[in-house]
Chains A and B, each alone.
Chain A
Amino acid sequence: MSDVTLDMRLGKPWKKPHFIKNPVTRWGLIIGALVYISFATGSLEVNWSRVSEGLVRGWNFIAAFATPDFVSRGTDIRDGLIESVIMTITSTIVGIAISIPIGLGAARNIAPLPVYLVCRGIIALSRALNEIIVAILMVAIFGFGPLAGFITLSFATIGFLAKLMAEDIEDMSRVQAEAIKSTGATWTQWINYGVQPQVMPRLVGLSMYRLDINFRESAVLGLVGAGGIGATLNTAFDRYEFDTAAAILLIIIATVMVLEYLSGVIRKKVQ
């Protein structure tokens, strides 16, 4: 069966076979990568005097974490935080509510083709547009404030949840769904008994995860005027009030940690 004999191998050097077999492609890729990296790093301009000046500030900022100032801009921080939380909660709830029909529509195994294409289109659009860019447009259209942030986050939630939900539905067990269909159930009954129980646990888990993401995102929307704690943070940086900025960042980190912990607990309970 094998035409390799021991004598052919003995005394010959051995080399690990290359991951990319074709030497032209291999060297082409290696050289291409090296050329790219050297050009890319070459095009970076570093203003060293500005950096050395900045290092002091950087150190001050790190030191500020030891003495975060929650008080002197206390009301700003509190209002910003409440606004962020409000945006997070509303946009997650609305996002989930809209994601469910779109997610159902984007699953090829239960939706007819035209509905499928429309829903997939909405998902693709929502995923392609960065939250910040959507927020800029929303602020331009709806004016400054949390409403723009709320709409942005809801829109982003749709792309995330509906996509994962649709994939989940497409992966579900056909047998269970068919069993329900064979009882003569209507379409809604079929969804309720055949599809929902299979998809629900993961949907709850993903929703919790999205709540966490929405909070993190809500912290930056303020930079473009769409409400939340980002505006306060931006002001703090502009005025070089690093101790206030440190306080805000610590609050964000702590909140994210709590949310992550909670979502872990809930996900364990559901699954």
Chain B
Amino acid sequence: MKATELSIGFMPLTDAAPLIVAQEMGFAEEEGLRLDLRRAPSWSSLRDMLSFGQVDAAHMLSPVPIAAALGYGGAGAPLSAVSVLSANGNVIGVSRALEEKLRALGHDFDFEDAGKAGKALIAATGQTLRIGVPFPFSMHAELVFYWLSALGFAVPEAVEVRTVPPPLMAEAIAAGEIDAFCVGEPWGTKAVENNVGALLLPGKAIWSFSPEKVLAVRSDWAETETSLTERLIRAVWRAGRWLGDPDSRMLATEMLARKTYLDLSPDLVERALSGRLVISSKGEERSVPGFVEFYHGAAGFPWRSQAEWIALRLAERIGRDPRAAALAARQVCRTDLYRRALQGTSADLPEASSKTEGALSAPASVPSASGTLILQQDSFFDGRVFEPLPE
């Protein structure tokens, strides 16, 4: 049988791994698919390539399809998130100048305590903070806003958020255009490597299990191409499982580093996958288990409660009715398709499609098909919890 070719857009980031691995390791082929992977120059271009049918599916920031459903960003077709591709995987970094100030104030760069790091950052910053994020609709922006506002910083008034595409983040901080950034790996590591910044926190120190990227398709495509959608979900899920095995790390690193994908030294790519990050130009290393998660804790499961959380944060910021936004987000998040695609595989899926976000301060088991699904810690740094609408 000849494989069906799907064109898939991605941004050069470590968390594009499930799509790259699905093609390179033959998981797509097992499903009779051939993935034509196309690197996009920016998130907006990728979103438009998807909306206007130049690609069939895309590696996408989890808030983008939700923002589009609320009428923000892109005027194309409605988009659906049919799987989460990865949880966590971002870093927050500061310029060398800000690093010096923080050290002078006694901050130890433990790369763990978001409350402590945030207070130190606010103390070191003064009136305003210029922070770079890759896109206005991104988990990066949401994490930064959540973190700083929880600590009493005037958000968004005192925070000047600048959009900087990930590959340009190191240059932006070197040029003094921003004081800090939140970006996906390996681009934070790149800033450290270029001697222009230091890493302050991993994103997971703010929310320990945040849906970072999703597999997005056009909503009408998901309806008309049900079989292709399901095959793609399965291929990506198997790729995630392969990535979840520490033995895969070296090969995955080599694959991602290639010219057609990230086009960077494997050494930089490897740090995020192993969770051992070099945080400063002094060579200090910090270990973050689960720095980026592709498989464990049902990482691919598109929780409606996570989509609602994103929708409510967006709605609050742009002045929309929260309930309508939450309901729209539910439509975007195709938990139903994900379940159907993985029926008959060994994937163990939770019984519920929505959960209290932030309730788990340690891994815990939840009711699932086989009864043994362990979810990872999902708490917020300030201990708040988020209750979704009833299912």
* A and B are interacting partners: no
Chain B residues in contact with chain A, CB under 8 A? none
Q: Which residues of A contact B (CB under 8 A)?
A: none
